[in-house]
Amino acid sequence: MTDTAQPIVVGVDGSASAVAAATWAGGLAARLGASLHIVYAVPYLGHNFTDAAAAVRAAAITGQHEAAADILSAAADAVGRAEPGVEITTSAPADTADDVLEALSAQARLIVLGSQDVSTTSALLIGSLTLTTITRSACPVIAWRGGKLSPTTQPIVVGVDGQNSDAALELAFELADALHAPLWAVRSSSSRRAPGDVTIPFLIDWEALEAMEWSSLTETVGPWAQRRPEVDVTFFVEPSKPSQALLAHLDGAQLVVVGSRGHGALASALIGSTSLNLLHHSPVPVAVCRPAAG
């Protein structure tokens, strides 16, 4: 995540939300000193369970070449007007979007996709381009939403769980530094329960448990904060599930960053409930970071 020669890649499909996502990605590229690569590919339609789905895919492939130039031009023009200093390249490979984005992720700094809400049913049964890209990408993936056409100085929220947090913390600190934005580090206190949920509440040392959570949070975030001392970090420990803890802090934020544990063929199911819940419910862009290889 330190090579400024790596482009930010944004996928477009001709929709207004995709053009908006490309414009936002262009703003992010400008602030990171990166170039922007806009790509259009044959739409990803999930697995072809039916002949009808296969027919739709065939029709999409047929129409791709006619639409690609106009779609890419419209997106590049929108980005160029908003961020005239950003270097923009475009491409329209013949492969499907999921394969194209996976291949580009090997050399990309980030992938940005204009994202609709991802339901649990679609994620588990047929998948979506966003879910497939997240689980196969070699770089972080940002599912854009919320309507903002450029990054701001509003806070960035990062989920910290002590196990899958390094990639998320690396990206969150990098973006907070580049955008001159404060960083809110949020940890879910999974050990803490409401008194009514505990059979013998007086035998539980709540203060000790809370102290352990705070210690774990600060120890995990500390090394990253030392590397980027200009970033203003605020810590939060919430007695709720991880997704609920993060959603509670998104009012006024511009982005939320989380780690993912998804790998392999079952990655759509293994991406984790926190990432899925945020993709479904977050009102702001969601960045999902895979753990580093090895």
**Segment 91-149, tens digit of pLDDT:** 999 888 899 999 999 999 999 998 755 554 444 333 478 888 888 899 999 999 988 99
CA distances from 272 to 65, 123, 276 (A): 37, 11, 6
pLDDT digits (tens, 9 = 90+) for 187-241: 988 654 544 554 445 555 556 566 777 777 888 899 999 999 999 999 998 888 8
Domain 1-150 has CATH 3.30.1240.10: no
Indicate the helix (H) or strand (E) that contains 186: strand 183-188
DSSP 195: G
Same fold flag, 1-150 and 152-294: yes
Half-sphere exposure of 287 (CA within 13 A, CB side): 28
| Domain 152-294: which CATH number of 3.10.350.10, 3.30.1130.10, 3.40.190.10, 3.40.50.12370 | 3.40.50.12370
- Taking the domains of the chain in order of start, what are their residue ranges? 1-150, 152-294
Amino acid (1-letter code) at residue 3: D
Look over the chain and give the mean of its residue pLDDT values, rounded to a whole number.
82
Give the pLDDT band (50/70/90) at residue 52.
low
Distance CA 119, CA 175 (A): 28
Let me know: does 278 contact 256? Beta carbons within 8 Å: yes
Beta bridge partners of 258: 288
